[in-house]
Amino acid sequence: MALQAAAASSGKVVIRNIGLMLSGDIDQPILQADTLVIHDGVITAIGRLADVDVSEPTTLIDARGTCLAPGLIDSHTHPVFGDWTPRQNQIGWIDSCMHGGVTTMISAGEVHLPGRPKDIVGLKAFAVTAQRAFEGMRASGVGGGVKVLAGAPVIEQGMVEEDFAELARNGVKLLGEVGLGSVKAGNQAAQMVGWARKYGIQSTIHTGGPSIPGSGLIDADVVLEADADVIGHINGGHTSLPYKQVCTLCEKSSRAIEIVHNGNERIGILTARHAMELKCPHRVILGTDSPAGSGVQPLGMLRLIALISSMADIPAEIVFGFATGNIARMRGLPQGLIEVGRPADFVLMDRAQHSAGTTLLESVELGDIPGVGMVIIDGIVRCQRSRNTPPASEVPVILAHA
Ligand SMILES: [Zn+2]
């Protein structure tokens, strides 16, 4: 089908015959509903077919008994410009991740730009440019229409409070990973994180060993002192802190616990389990930390969900919430939850063909990744059967398109 620009309006969309509806909310992860109605990109009704107005849709989709979940939100990405990454010199990586169910990406810093400016005027200008460019890219359909929230400056020594005020006035809402620039001391980071917070800019700190030559170690003491909003890749990116330090972070901080695909998998699994034991599952959020030295993994979010669900023994519907509703709430995003009034960003999935699991959730709990059958962003179908996942047992079909 022809790619529609994100600026186009979806009109009225009806999705019926949904076999399983995941809410994204870990307190009530499964909704008792089989039908969903969208008007111009926004969810307007959720319920049983007989109870909602499904008349005269612009687009009618038969989910054919598959699962509808909020589109996945990758909490930790490193975009640069457009749908290109210089890290592994790949193009089309964002579109490829959309085929893995990702509908929103959050930048943890556009750190891979060759010659990235490190002077204060330059880094501010670059952040504003990245924010504008990715915001503008969606209308073009480049990157599959994925919502890339970028413009995340890497803080450097010498920045003053007014720099953060200026960034905020100009639309910057995120900091890149604290610790990737010249600010590495806990007290200095804490001061700048505080200024960012004062002006509504959210912060993430790099946790663990250096990621690539040139970056450095950030240990638990620095993470606690800096007190950024997100304990970025708590399982390392790749090199993790010793597990004891990771436990200290979970126990002494109340900030978000971010587990990434491009981290230490053993620590990722242990951390998820520890967060459940500490009864703070709402703090757990997931990301890929890609593109990176490990490359780009279009199925990274699905692989991480299957890994954590199967190895940490956490119900799959809860782990999907770590990758959707938890991030929505933590980051104040409208998308990521299936509720009336929220953006219609969905992934429709089914168990992969020949999975040992008899249902989608069971297949994930057995460690298999699901097959994606359709991705919808702002009510617009962005892809049908994924070109990247194993084939889903059943896929939704578009019955009518006015
Ligand atoms: Zn990092």
CB 11 within 8 A of CB 41: no
CB 103 within 8 A of CB 147: yes
> Residue 98 Cα, ligand 1 centroid: separation in angstroms?
23
Beta bridge partners of 218: 208
> Residue 116 Cα, ligand 1 centroid: separation in angstroms?
16
> Residue 222 Cα, ligand 1 centroid: separation in angstroms?
14
> Residue 386 Cα, ligand 1 centroid: separation in angstroms?
29
How many other C-beta atoms can be found within 10 angstroms of the C-beta atom of residue 162?
Answer: 10
Q: Average pLDDT of the chain?
A: 96
Cis peptide before 291 (omega within 30 of 0): yes
> Could you give the CA distance from residue 208 to residue 190 in angstroms, rounded to a whole number?
17
> Residue 90 Cα, ligand 1 centroid: separation in angstroms?
20
Phi/psi of residue 37, nearest 5 degrees:
-120, 140
Comparing C-alpha atoms, which of 96, 99, 125 is closest to residue 113?
125
> Residue 25 Cα, ligand 1 centroid: separation in angstroms?
27
> Residue 52 Cα, ligand 1 centroid: separation in angstroms?
46
> Residue 260 Cα, ligand 1 centroid: separation in angstroms?
10
> Residue 177 Cα, ligand 1 centroid: separation in angstroms?
6
> Residue 237 Cα, ligand 1 centroid: separation in angstroms?
5
> Residue 39 Cα, ligand 1 centroid: separation in angstroms?
39
CB neighbour class for 332 (10 Å; exposed up to 12, middle 13-18, buried from 19): exposed
> Residue 112 Cα, ligand 1 centroid: separation in angstroms?
12
> Residue 357 Cα, ligand 1 centroid: separation in angstroms?
35
> Could you give the CA distance from residue 278 to residue 259 in angstroms, rounded to a whole number?
16
> Residue 110 Cα, ligand 1 centroid: separation in angstroms?
12
Q: What is the DSSP string of 232-248?
A: TTTT-SSSPPPHHHHHH
> Residue 154 Cα, ligand 1 centroid: separation in angstroms?
11
> Residue 323 Cα, ligand 1 centroid: separation in angstroms?
19
> Residue 212 Cα, ligand 1 centroid: separation in angstroms?
9
> Residue 213 Cα, ligand 1 centroid: separation in angstroms?
12
> Could you give the CA distance from residue 42 to residue 77 in angstroms, rounded to a whole number?
26
> Residue 299 Cα, ligand 1 centroid: separation in angstroms?
20
Low pLDDT (below 70) residues in the chain:
1-7
> Residue 206 Cα, ligand 1 centroid: separation in angstroms?
4
> Could you give the CA distance from residue 224 to residue 285 in angstroms, rounded to a whole number?
18
| pTM, rounded to two decimals | 0.97
pLDDT at res. 7: 52
Compute the CA torsion angle 246, 256, 263, 388 (nearest 10 deg).
150
> Residue 168 Cα, ligand 1 centroid: separation in angstroms?
23
